[in-house]
Amino acid sequence: MADVIDQDTPLQSDSIRASDGPLEFIELGTVDYSETWHRQQDTADAIATGEAPDQVWMLEHPSTYTAGKRTQPEDRPTNGTPVVDVDRGGRITWHGPGQLVAYPLVKLREPLDVVDYVRRIEEAILKVVHDLGLTDAGRVEGRSGVWLPAGISQGVIKPARKVAAIGIRVTHGVTMHGLAINVDNSLEHYDHIVACGIPDAGVTTLAAELDREISVNDLIAPMAEAIDAALSGALHLTESTT
């Protein structure tokens, strides 16, 4: 979902935010993708000029394919489903019910370090996923997001598979877009695209990997806490790799 990043770049040990004010978390429920995207743009402009505080939106979208700036023609759906072309990095992905989406709208400190920001968001996701019991989840060199390693899971041989994606844009020093964690959503929609432009890897959900029921609501509070800690520097970088 996000552009490839340098996995050797160190995480800063202090806050990446320009502001020392509290980070506000807003739960939006299920909201239309395009409408929310335009709201993000307006809010980011207000944050850039100091008219609005840093905030993180926690939400779900109705079923929607979105294509980042690096999307190739062969990535697009094979079933004729419409795609929303957006201004984030990365390639094509899907959003829909059962997937927790978080959009941090945060003014970054100078000098801007986008790689540091992306790795902090990865670290926040890893914290939550590890705490749920998936301690082998980690990073894959040259790829963003959070992955489960290839191997035998529940008696089945599985490839490396992505459980959370990241796609961002920074405009006037303010972050937009963010992360999506597959909680208990259907994976059928991924059958019609090359998810994130990676043909040799799978996609999974937390519910499938944990083999138990888990909901988006279960993840909102721990994800909010982890994002706050990662951006403030309280949550330090690990070397988790699959």
Cβ–Cβ under 8 Å, residues 112 and 147: no
Determine the Cα–Cα distance for residues 58 and 230; give it in Å rounded to an integer.
Answer: 16
Rounded to whole angstroms, how far apart are CA atoms 108 and 15? 9
Amino acid letter at 20? D
196 catalytic? Reply is yes
β-bridge pairing 64-67 and 161-171: unpaired
Would you list the DSSP string of the chain?
-PPP--TTPPPPSS--BS--SPPEEEEEEE--HHHHHHHHHHHHHHHHTTSS--EEEEEE-SSEEEE-TT--GGGS-TT---EEE-SSSS-EEEE-TTEEEEEEE-BBPSSP-HHHHHHHHHHHHHHHHHHHT-TT-EEETTEEEEEEPSEEETTEEE--EEEEEEEEEEETTEEEEEEEEESS--SGGGGGS-GGG-TT-EE--HHHHHTS---HHHHHHHHHHHHHHHHHT-SPP---B-
- The active-site residue, picked from 105, 166, 176, 196, is 196
Active site residues: 196
